Amino acid sequence: MVKKLKKQLYPVARFFFDKYISKQRKYTYEGITIAIHEEVFPPKFTISTKILLEYIKPLDLKDKNFLELGCGSGIISLFAASKGAKVTASDINQTAIRILKEAAINNEISINVVYSDLLESLQNQQFDYIIINPPYYPKAPQNDKERAWFCGENFEYFEKLFLQLPHHLSPNTWMILSEDCEIDHIKQLAIKNGLFFKLILEKSVIREKNYIFQIEKS
Ligand SMILES: C[S@@+](CC[C@H](N)C(=O)[O-])C[C@H]1O[C@@H](n2cnc3c(N)ncnc32)[C@H](O)[C@@H]1O
């Protein structure tokens, strides 16, 4: 019922959403202000980024090695660094990389911003925390903007990620997913690579259930 309603409302919501983010806007969280570029995943109205921010808020991140894989706007990375973490923020979107480097300077926060296709440029690096808010709609992305949303027709993003992840897995490797996506299929892709999803948070926002999973070796 809720899914059906969402489907009907999607074109209208998408129209206003695209109109809103077609201009650069700003977003502030805990005193950190970033520019939102139209080519980059917008953290303001998307629920997932906010849930992750609130989840890491009470953690003692001082001196912890922290990776945000697919950092987008980088607000999570900047916030983690403001709490004392040693942060690496990676993305495949060069615009996101450029804007985040500027935001780090403007906020006087030190982070390492890296261009990387998943973990390819981070080989041999280990982290205490790995945070992933993945694209999960099964469609082939046509450009960088779409890479924030689409994981490939056959979930290629996850296929590749789960191949690489066992070499980097930390005790705190967390992925957020929504009930809107094909969670069981994504879990099966993980299992193929000896990975297991353990539920650590369930949160409903506007009747949409969101989950944070800890990814472990099975
Ligand atoms: C849903 S957005 C999340 C952005 C940010 N972590 C947040 O929570 O606001 C997914 C991000 O993953 C990035 N991404 C998609 N495919 C990627 C890949 N193969 N390697 C690295 N990053 C990728 C996108 O560019 C996008 O910034």
pLDDT value of residue 152: 98
Domains of the chain and CATH, by start? 26-217 (3.40.50.150)
Q: State the CB neighbour count (10 A cutoff) for residue 81.
A: 24
Residue 3 has pLDDT above 90, yes or no: no
Residue 201 has pLDDT above 70, yes or no: yes
Find residue 175's DSSP bridge partners.
Answer: 132, 213
pLDDT value of residue 206: 84
Residue 36 has pLDDT above 80, yes or no: yes
Tell me the pLDDT band of 7, cut-offs 50, 70 and 90.
low
Cα(74) to centroid(ligand 1), Å? 10
Q: State the CB neighbour count (10 A cutoff) for residue 59.
A: 14
| Overall pTM > 0.85 | yes
Tell me the pLDDT band of 25, cut-offs 50, 70 and 90.
confident
211 lines ligand 1 (CB under 6 A): no
72 lines ligand 1 (CB under 6 A): yes
Residue 18 has pLDDT above 80, yes or no: no
The fraction of the chain above a pLDDT of 90, given in percent, is 83
> Which residues, in sequence order, are CB contacts of 38 under 8 Å at separation 6+?
21, 22, 23, 24, 145
Q: Which two tokens stand for residue 166?
A: 């066992």
Tell me the pLDDT band of 5, cut-offs 50, 70 and 90.
low
> Which residues, in sequence order, are CB contacts of 35 under 8 Å at separation 6+?
24, 25, 26, 99, 102, 103
Query: Across residues 139-143, what is the average pLDDT?
Result: 97
Ligand 1, closest atom to CA 68?
6
Ligand 1, closest atom to CA 161?
19
Tell me the pLDDT band of 22, cut-offs 50, 70 and 90.
low
Cα(91) to centroid(ligand 1), Å? 6
Q: Which carries the bigger pLDDT value, residue 87 or residue 11?
A: 87
Helix (H) or strand (E) holding 65: strand 65-69
Q: Can you say how many angstroms the Cα of residue 98 is from the centroid of all Cα atoms in its chain? A: 17
Cα(216) to centroid(ligand 1), Å? 21
Bin 152: left if φ > 0, else alpha if -120 < ψ < 50, else beta: left
- Bridge pairing between strands 195-205 and 208-217: antiparallel
pLDDT value of residue 21: 56
Ligand 1, closest atom to CA 93?
25
74 lines ligand 1 (CB under 6 A): no
Residue 193 has pLDDT above 80, yes or no: yes
Q: Which carries the bigger pLDDT value, residue 73 or residue 18?
A: 73
Ligand 1, closest atom to CA 149?
1
Cα(71) to centroid(ligand 1), Å? 6
Instruction: Specify whether the CB–CB gap between 153 and 103 falls below 8 A.
Output: no
Torsion sign (Cα): 155, 157, 160, 163: negative
pLDDT value of residue 13: 65
